[in-house]
Structure 1
């Protein structure tokens, strides 16, 4: 029996265990415990799960998380597809414009949050000032519980739509030209080409891209921390942010571990779906 495979893959498996498997096992074990900060008090079984799943606050936070993920994903897909369609046949100009459009994707979330925090500042931000110039009342912007989440969704979509554009463009450029020529021969117009050729051919790529972004949105916290801190009145508090806040603020972090487990299970489900879809595409 050769030991070469173990020598080559051993370090990777060890790193995977230390940064992924061990923390997951530890959090799962912690979800059955009662703690005083990080000191274990005793085993409580499913009491933490009953407390969290029976809380209306948890389901409100879950609704905010799902709204955030779905809204950001819809915005990123629409903007990314629109940019890809417009620039796909723009030749050299399209290539230059893609470089500039990719700029938001190259920025860290803390930088993106700081930029938009300034732009939306109701006291001296350019966007509220422009709205006032046009006779519109900007309100409190990120300080308004009804506006904070839509604004966070918009900023997230603005940051991530270049990724959709790149993936969609790559998929479009792999579509055989003969398919478009066949549609033209049959008298089909631009909408028919898009509906039955472009969209059909790139749909698997869009699906895997959407799953990748969904996993990222579900665990994304930096933008929320910088722009709203989960407020106002919890209107931008997501599951991941709640897990983060509970870890550093709660006395008993057992319920926080339950929230982390919920996020983990959702990510595992999305990851399994992504793997299956990727297998179909490559197959």
Structure 2
């Protein structure tokens, strides 16, 4: 009979402890807080599902949820399209492609506060280069980020611009692992560029794109810095996402129980996204 030893468990104990302290404990605490009424950070009593009822029956909550989903999937669509296009073009560009990849990676290396500040200047309606060029072309640029109808699309585009290099790198790595014999077989059968992309390239990189999309979706859903810098959730709440609302509620609200509910909703949305992409990519690889 093998002798039991604690050594393997002791080796993993620090990692488990850190995981508990930075992930599990805060999650459990927020879930518990969602059933409480507070006066700022002082507990005022257990209220059961009252906070959930207050949040889930609020029209403002569902408006914010729609804004969040629009932002997440809009940014994801832009990042995937731009990243895939860049990967396809640069993958066949040889040494030039390798040099351009380093240059294109630059946005992804910037912090969100820097990205927000750059685009806040570029889109400034008074002296920004982009409104100036639009006006020079004979169009009215409007208020740009100050327009409730334009603010969310503009932040979505900025987010896609910031994150598409990540998609490019992941897609390029997946493309370079595809056996060249598959492309040669398609050429022998008379298939063109579209056939190669549809039945060879896309088929092999879909699992990678799925995991990349999952990572970016979680980032977008919890992203606040860019919104804080560029719009502060405005104008008129048009760029207020669930994560931003949870952040603002934690700082400003007297009763932070409903804010904890919003945080729990974001958590379950992340879990749902993970389950969705795992199912989709598993169906492809299986």
TM range (shorter): over 0.9
- 1:270 to partner: Cα distance: 2.7
Residue 184 of structure 2 is aligned with which of 152, 177, 181?
181
Answer whether contact 1:212 1:274 (CA < 8 A) is retained: no
What SS does structure 1 have at the residue aligned with 2:90?
A: helix
Q: Distance in 2 between matches of 1:17 and 1:144?
A: 43
4+ residue runs over 4 A deviation: 272-283
What SS does structure 1 have at the residue aligned with 2:107?
A: helix
Summarize deviations over 1:57-114 as a string: whole Å, max 9, x none: 0000000000000000000000000000000010000000000000000000000000
Q: Which residue of 2 aligns with 1:55?
A: 58
Q: Distance in 2 between matches of 1:139 and 1:277?
A: 41
Q: Distance in 2 between matches of 1:153 and 1:200?
A: 28
Q: 1:129 aligned to 2:128?
A: no
Change beyond 3 A, Cα 1:163–1:24: same
- 1:266 to partner: Cα distance: 1.3
Q: Distance in 1 between matches of 2:212 and 2:27?
A: 25
Q: Distance in 1 between matches of 2:120 and 2:92?
A: 35
- 1:7 to partner: Cα distance: 1.6
Q: Which residue of 1 aligns with 2:161?
A: 158
Residue 261 of structure 1 is aligned with which of 254, 259, 264?
264
Answer whether contact 2:86 2:168 (CA < 8 A) is retained: yes
Q: Which residue of 2 aligns with 1:194?
A: 197
- 1:139 to partner: Cα distance: 0.3
Q: Distance in 1 between matches of 2:43 and 2:184?
A: 69
- 1:277 to partner: Cα distance: 6.8
- 1:273 to partner: Cα distance: 4.8
Residue 233 of structure 1 is aligned with which of 207, 220, 236?
236
Q: Which residue of 1 aligns with 2:222?
A: 219
Q: Which residue of 2 aligns with 1:14?
A: 17
- 1:281 to partner: Cα distance: 8.6
Summarize deviations over 1:141-169 as a string: whole Å, max 9, x none: 00000000000000000000000000000
What SS does structure 2 have at the residue aligned with 1:34?
A: strand
Q: TM-score normalised to the size of structure 2?
A: 0.96
Total equivalences in the alignment: 283
Q: Distance in 1 between matches of 2:157 and 2:199?
A: 30
Answer whether contact 2:210 2:281 (CA < 8 A) is retained: no
Q: Distance in 1 between matches of 2:256 and 2:11?
A: 38
Q: TM-score normalised to the size of structure 1?
A: 0.97
Q: 1:140 aligned to 2:109?
A: no
Gaps of 5+ in 2: none
Q: Distance in 2 between matches of 1:106 and 1:274?
A: 26
Q: Distance in 1 between matches of 2:73 and 2:231?
A: 19
What SS does structure 1 have at the residue aligned with 2:38?
A: strand
RMSD: 1.5
Answer whether contact 2:207 2:285 (CA < 8 A) is retained: no
Answer whether contact 1:110 1:223 (CA < 8 A) is retained: yes
Q: Which residue of 2 aligns with 1:105?
A: 108
Answer whether contact 1:208 1:277 (CA < 8 A) is retained: no
